[in-house]
Amino acid sequence: MRFDDLTLAGDEYPQGACGSQQEWLLMYSRGVPPALIASWCRVDVCRVHRAIDRQIGRHSEWFDRCWVLHDQPARSRDRRRFRRSREQVWWEHYAAMSAYVDRAGGLPVQNDSMEARVLYRWLENQRRNHDAGRLAQDKIDALNRLGEWVGARKGNPEELWGLRLEQVRQFRDESERFPIYDPQRHPGEKVLAVWLGRQRTWQRKGTRRPDRQETLTWLLPGWDKSRNALEAPAKSV
């Protein structure tokens, strides 16, 4: 077989955009910048960034690996000799964050620059780990030295979680059912339905904090069932 037999005619090559987000994520995980991915795949770079952000939210360890590829200098060819542990990677990220705070005078904002965007994502990952109780105390103490890193979001996450729990409990007690996600018929239930749906998702994935699991089971019996697990009782005739 000749090489010419393997080539395609010009009109036989794929046309249009490559919309496979899995391919975008694969390229990003190999060190390809989002702008270049967007150019190669003929898509808006904002779509690539959104896909990357969603993947980071689902798999924090994936972001740790990508961060090294995109933002760390090249290593020696003898990689085994210089291979770093997850602990070393975390403190390298923290050192970069600390240097940025000293230089900029505050925590990074997502859209300030590419450096700020990367550091912002890393800090968001630490906030999620802190919320889930997976952040060691020495790391919490180090982050506290940067300033109000937990409170940088809109509201305190612990207080917001407790508020949503109480709102769902009151709704269940008053209506004798759980909130439904149906913006057309029940627009007032949307926020509570989304919150409860997230709790069920984390339950299925096994990432539910044990203390919150106990609180939900105690205050909201049947919360982990499908929607409308608690139906209003039939009226007697």
Q: Report the pLDDT value the prediction gives residue 15, as an integer from 0 to 100.
A: 56
Burial category of 63 from C-beta neighbours within 10 Å (exposed 0-12, middle 13-18, buried 19 and up): buried
- Contacts of 170-178 spanning 24+ positions with Cβ under 8 A: 172/220, 172/230, 175/232, 176/230, 176/231, 176/232, 176/233, 177/228, 177/230, 177/231, 177/232, 178/220, 178/222, 178/223, 178/227, 178/228, 178/229, 178/230
Q: Report the pLDDT value the prediction gives residue 106, as an integer from 0 to 100.
A: 82
For the entire predicted model, the pTM comes to: 0.39
Which residues of the chain fall below pLDDT 70?
1-17, 57, 60-61, 63-65, 67-84, 151-156, 226-237
Tell me the residue type at 181: Y
